[in-house]
Structure 1
Amino acid sequence: MARVPDLDRRRALRQAASVSVATGLYGISFGALAVTAGLSTLQAQALSVLMFTGGSQFAFIGIVGAGGGGLAAAATATLLGARNALYGAVVSPFLQVRGLRRLAAAHVTIDESTAVSTAQRDPQTARLGFWWAGLGVFVLWNACTLVGSVVGDALGDPRRWGLDAAAGAAFLGLLWPRLAARRAQVVAAGAVVVALALTPVTPAGVPVLAAAVVAVVVGWRIPAAASRATVEDT
């Protein structure tokens, strides 16, 4: 088996560490929102340890906090978490794990571990990135959930501190460095402006759909305008 270059290993570990820290920190927002929704610290911690998929956890406490039943909350969380099964099909070929390691791999197959692993150039660094990102997020997410749930009462309404927007901010922080091209930055900025403008005046879900439409239109118009400019210059 060929030895993985140290540069590739360091790059994979650096990516895993940055993703783990950025994702783990907004576990504080989950912990604070969970206790505000009526869960105890132990219940919030159990969700982070056993469910361990951020989007599903936020959906669960959102429904419970709005007065919904546990069955409805669990069903919604399950639907959102179903995407992780698709990630499993992506990472399984290069992980090649069996037994208890397979169960552990399934538990930490999340957005972040999949993204880091699939960004690598060979199976060995892909495995390295997967495990370090998955386990790193697991440890920090659970630690920050505990912090958020313990200090949640002292903070008061988490929305005063912007904790309800922490997940979106963290994802934007992870995404923005990849928007190196000017076209990608313009598309992202246009979508954000539209979503923010529509959020106060439209039903939930509409701003996201509108932002997606804007992204498609702007992304299509920019190359078209560039093509016309090239023709005019020649």
Structure 2
Amino acid sequence: MDDNFREGLRAGGSLILPTFAGGFSFGVLAQPVMGSIAPVLMSFIVFSGAAQFAALTVLVTGGGALAAIAAGMLLNARWLPMGLAIGPFLKGGPVQRSIESVAIVDSSFALASRGDGTFDRERLIGSTLPQFAAWGSGTLAGVVLGPVLGDPQALGLDAMFPAFFAFLLFGELRDRVRLSAAAGGAAIAFLLMPFTPAGVPVVAAACAALIGLKHTRTTAAT
């Protein structure tokens, strides 16, 4: 086994507990809205906490499936510049690289960076595997145990929505462009809430993330 792959496994292993907790919360909250199968499939196929919580938020607030999908896709727009940055360091042809690119998540992208604009493929994959297993199994546990535990609000799990996005935002506050995108998204949602159907403000606010798309691509490539 490659040393860098083992390093990635160890680094990803340190994130198992919080990743499992996030997946568990998603499962508990999503089960009453999406049923028992869809949340688990979503976690194993989409594997993106930001997109999944955004889609669930739209559904909870009364938005439709298309609005939920749009919100998730807009939040996942960051994968484009990250994929362009790390793509040359993956192996094989377009199909194999596409499969390996599933390993790109925020923490693994950072762990795979060598700090000089290059990336370590083995460390990327190694660090993602424990997180993938923890997120999926956490969602499954949440779906199964949610009905037993009772009302998510009584457990305080409904606070995961604002807490999750506040955590994501906190890490971006040091960047002026991303802070501008966050402020723009908040302003869009605030202005649209009194006049538009449920779910629309979330989708429209997510469009503000596109403000930082070019900046993110430049940052990832340098």
TM-score normalised over the length of structure 1: 0.62
1:104 paired with 2:99, answer: yes
Distance 2:69 2:80 in 1: 17
Residue matched to 2:12: 16
- Map of 1:214-229 to 2, 5 A cutoff? none
Residue matched to 1:26: 22
Deviating more after overlay: 92-101 vs 108-117 = 92-101
Where structure 1 has 5 or more consecutive residues not aligned to the other structure, the ranges are: 177-186, 188-202, 206-234
* Number of matched pairs: 175
CA 1:62–1:122: 2 relative to 1, 3 Å:
closer
CA 1:163–1:142: 2 relative to 1, 3 Å:
same
Residue matched to 1:140: 134
SS of the residue aligned with 2:63? coil
Cα offset, 1:20, TM superposition: 4.0
Q: Is the 8 A contact 2:12 2:130 kept in 1?
A: yes
CA 1:120–1:84: 2 relative to 1, 3 Å:
same
Q: Is the 8 A contact 1:17 1:132 kept in 2?
A: no
Q: Which has the higher contact order (CA 8 A, sep 6+)?
A: 2
Residue matched to 2:144: 150
SS of the residue aligned with 1:82? helix
Distance 1:163 1:71 in 2: 25
CA 1:42–1:169: 2 relative to 1, 3 Å:
closer
Q: Is the 8 A contact 1:87 1:110 kept in 2?
A: no
Aligned-pair Cα RMSD in Å? 3.6
Question: 4+ runs of 1 displaced by more than 3 Å?
Answer: 8-13, 119-124, 164-172
Cα offset, 1:107, TM superposition: 2.1
CA 1:129–1:165: 2 relative to 1, 3 Å:
farther
TM-score normalised over the length of structure 2: 0.64
Distance 1:122 1:9 in 2: 19
Percent identity between matched residues is: 32
Cα offset, 1:102, TM superposition: 1.6
- Map of 1:53-72 to 2, 5 A cutoff? 53-72=48-67
Structure number with larger C-alpha Rg: 1
Name the aligned partner's letter for residue 136 of structure 1.
Answer: P
Residue matched to 2:47: 52
